[in-house]
Structure 1
Amino acid sequence: MIKRGMIAAGVGMMLSAAPSMAANESTGWYFGATGGQAQADLDRAEYDAGIEGVFAQIGAPLTSGSSDLEDTDVSWSLFGGYRLSPFFSLEAGYIDLGASEYRASGTVNPPGPSPSTTASYSADVEVSGFTAAAIGMLPLGEMFQLHGQAGVLFTNLEISQAISLTGFGADSDRRSSDSRDFFFGVGGGLNIGEQWTLNLDWQRFKDVGDEDETGETDIDRISLGVIYRL
């Protein structure tokens, strides 16, 4: 006959082992990819004022003009990480935050007896870099989870500029800067089976760029991602 003490001891061992087994199943390496949309916090009026100032400085003030700013673009990333527990992981990856485009054209009065002529200016701002982040997770049952992240973007920001003045020629240049910028985000995940997860995330990248070389801007990103756990 089995004694009650033996049953209690057996149940106790099972219960104490269960969290350990669950933890082991929730740890390990994973890899993933995301795609979405990034938007830079740029101000068209600020660009307009800068262009007007440049032409005024060279003695060719603007008399009329128009401009357009596209600060939203497609963004993607690849990443990998290690889940240390059901609640915490470390992650590294590469992210492309897309490009912003500014275009302006108008009429200027060049110095001297030359009649009014047309001018144009364009600027493209591209942002990409490597990331390192810590992820905190809150499982909600077996299928769902909430998570938050904080990390560093090792940013490469490039600006391509071109300016032309009809009858006077054109000029262009390209500048870049490297910086380390803080980012954070929140999101949710849907677990599909034991190895796959679909994520929806929002992230903000703070003060991206170099204030002296290229200027700084915040970038917001919304993305869908897929994770595969080994």
Structure 2
Amino acid sequence: MNKTKIIGAILLTLGLTGNALAENGFYGGAGIGQATIDACDGVTSCDDNDTSWKIFGGWEMNSNIAFEAAWVDFGEISGSVGGSAVSAEADGWTLAAKGILPLNEQFGVFGKFGTIMWDVKGGGAASGTDDDGTDLMYGLGGQYMFTDRLGIVGEWEWYDIDNDIDLFSIGALFKF
């Protein structure tokens, strides 16, 4: 068997697999945005905003219900306490149910509700501080599909991690 036939068979298999996944409603994507971490009590010169990013994937059970998992990096906050520099980085895994309201073939709005398993690590004078837990999260957003498989998503999410975190993000969405 020559290389052309093998490559053709692989491409045909991948094409069939891609169509089967699309019929089953699987999707994935990535987003970037701005996180605000409400943790500046007692901290001077506090910078509580940072660039955040996430990778997500999910399954649309039907046109109105989906389940989504994501890994989110909220970035870092920094400031000083008693003249010593402190910082903290936060990230976590989320799992959420999504209610979707399609407004037409391309555009829909959604709400999500779920949990986040988070981790916060301290730096500077807070070095060695490590905290984790599981808390609630929810969000609102919209998505616009350019094609049957490629779209854009914008959303606001709120996380109840010891101190509230708000995340505004925009990202690319790909349906398999």
User: Which TM bucket (shorter chain)?
Assistant: 0.7 to 0.9
* One of 31, 34, 50 as aligned partner of 1:34: 31
Which residue pairs with 2:99 in the alignment? 136
Q: TM-score, normalised by structure 2?
A: 0.83
Distance between the aligned counterparts of 2:170 and 2:22, measured in 1? 24
Distance between the aligned counterparts of 2:153 and 2:92, measured in 1? 21
Distance between the aligned counterparts of 1:104 and 1:219, measured in 2? 21
Which residue pairs with 2:144 in the alignment? 190
Which residue pairs with 1:57 in the alignment? none
- C-alpha RMSD over aligned residues: 1.8
How many equivalent residue pairs? 156
Residue 85 of structure 1 aligns to a residue in which SS? coil
Query: Contact 2:36–2:167 at 8 Å: present in 1 too?
Result: yes
Matched, 1:149 2:126: no
Matched, 1:76 2:30: no
Query: Contact 2:22–2:175 at 8 Å: present in 1 too?
Result: no
Which residue pairs with 1:178 in the alignment? 132
Structure of larger gyration radius: 1
Query: Contact 2:108–2:143 at 8 Å: present in 1 too?
Result: yes
Q: TM-score, normalised by structure 1?
A: 0.64
Unpaired runs of at least 5, structure 1:
1-23, 49-66, 106-119, 163-171, 209-215
Once the two structures are TM-superposed, the CA of residue 88 in structure 1 deviates from its matched residue by: 0.7
Relative contact order, higher structure (CA 8 A, sep 6+): 2
1:17-32 superposed matches below 5 A: 27-32=24-29
Matched, 1:229 2:175: yes
Matched, 1:127 2:90: yes
Once the two structures are TM-superposed, the CA of residue 104 in structure 1 deviates from its matched residue by: 5.1
Distance between the aligned counterparts of 1:146 and 1:26, measured in 2? 21
Residue 86 of structure 1 aligns to a residue in which SS? coil
1:87-106 superposed matches below 5 A: 87-103=64-80
Unpaired runs of at least 5, structure 2:
1-20
Percent pairwise identity: 28
Query: Contact 1:133–1:152 at 8 Å: present in 2 too?
Result: yes
> After the TM superposition, which parts of structure 1 deviate over 3 Å for at least 4 consecutive aligned residues?
24-27
Matched, 1:218 2:172: no
Distance between the aligned counterparts of 1:27 and 1:138, measured in 2? 19
Once the two structures are TM-superposed, the CA of residue 197 in structure 1 deviates from its matched residue by: 1.6
